[in-house]
Amino acid sequence: MPPKVPYCRPLLTPLIHSSSSPSPITHKYWLGAKSKKMNPAKNLIPLLVFILTALSLLSLLKLAIFTAPSPPFSSSPPPQQSPSPPFSSSPMPKQNTCSSPACGNAPSHPVEISISPHKTSSVNATILTEKEFKLLSNLIKRRAPCNLLIFGLEPQYLKLSKINARGTTIFLEDDSNKISAIKSKSKKTEIYKVEYSIPAKDAYKLLKHARQNPACALGSGPLQVSKCKLALKNLPQEVYKNKWDVVVVDGPSGDAPEAPGRMSTIYTSSIIARAGNATDVIVHDIDRTIEKWFSREFLCDDNLVSAKGKLWNFRITDQSNSTRFCPAKESMIE
C-alpha cells in the first residue's frame, strides 16, 4: 500500500472566485493601485530635480557674465574724421594739349588731397635727408655768392646761409616760434614773418581759378598788384625788387587740410624765377599731391634738371616775354 500523505492545500489558488469573497491577491493589487493613485508626489520628483538643475545653471551663467573683466577705459576721445581735401593720392594723370595760357579745362570734379604723414609739426620731421641736403648745398656752392630766397625756416637751412656768406639770403616763415628759436648771426641773412591764409584743402579751386583767370597768366603784371588769388602780394619789398638765383620752397607746412598749403608759394616762385636770367627753384616734399601738381603746372617738367628723394630742382630761364608757364602739351591735367 502506498504511504499516506497528509492533506495540504494546493499551492495555487484559483483565480476565479465567487463574487461574495474577493481574492486576497486581487484585493492586494487593488490596494497597490489605489496607493499609487493617491500619491502623485513620487511622479513630480524628477520634474522638480530638472527645474532646480536648470535654475542652478542659469544662476551660474548670469554670475559668469556679470563678473567677467571689462576692457580698460580709455580717456582719449574717439578719433575725428578730417574734412576730405580736394585732390587724390593717385599718380599724376595723363596730360594733354591746351590752347589757352590759363588752360581753362580743369579736372571735372574735385578728388582727395594726399598729404604724406612724414611732414608733421615735430622738430625732426621737416628736415632734409643727407642726400637731399647735399644736392641743395652743392647747388648753392656752385652759385655762391648769389641771391637766395627760402620759403620756410629750418635749422639746417642756416648752413646754406653760411655757404652763401658773401651773398644775400632771405627766409620767409609763418611760424613765430621758429623765428624766435632761430637767430641768424649773418648780417646778410634776414628772416621775415609772413602770413599764409589759404588752406591746403582749397588747392583744387585755386588750380581751376588759375587756369581760367587771365590775371594768373605770365605777363599779367607785378605780383604786388595782381588779381590772381595765388599771388603773394604782402611779402617784403626786397623779395619783389631783387632778381633771385635760387628759390627754395619748403613752406608753409601744408601737412593737413586746414593748414596753409604751398599753392601760392609755388606759383609766386614761378613768377619770381621768370623775372631772372636763370633761376633754380627747389621744391621739397614733392611726393605730396599739391607740391607735385602745382610744380608741374607752373614750373614744368621740361625745366626739371635734377632730383633727389623728395627734392626736385627746376631751372627756369628768362621767359619774361612768354604768356604760358609750360609748353601746351604739359599744361592740361585731366
pLDDT digits (tens, 9 = 90+) for 211-262: 999 999 998 889 999 999 999 999 999 999 999 999 999 999 999 999 999 9
Query: If 0-12 CB within 10 Å is exposed, 13-18 middle and 19+ buried, where does residue 48 land?
Result: exposed
Residue among 210, 217, 223, 309 nearest 263 (CA)? 210
**So what's the pLDDT on residue 37?**
52
Any residues with CB less than 8 A from the CB of 208 and at least 6 apart, and which?
106, 107
Maximum C-alpha span of the chain: 167
Identify the structural domains of the chain with CATH numbers, from first to last.
95-115+129-333 (3.40.50.150)
**For the chain, which residues score pLDDT lower than 70?**
1-42, 62-126, 185, 318-322, 329-334
Could you write out the three-class secondary structure of 217-231? Answer: CCCCCCHHHCCCCCC
Number of helices (H), then strands (E), in the chain? 9, 9
**Cα separation, 269 vs 246, whole angstroms:** 10
Nine-digit cell string for 43: 511622479
Query: Using one digit for the tens of pLDDT, what is the confidence trace for 178-216?
Result: 898 887 767 778 999 999 999 999 999 999 999 999 999
Q: Which helix (H) or strand (E) holds 193?
A: strand 189-193
Task: Evaluate if pTM is beyond 0.85.
Answer: no
Provide the 3-class DSSP secondary structure of residue 255. coil
Residues sharing a CB contact under 8 Å with residue 138, sequence separation 6 or more, in sequence order: none
Amino acid letter at 135?
Answer: L
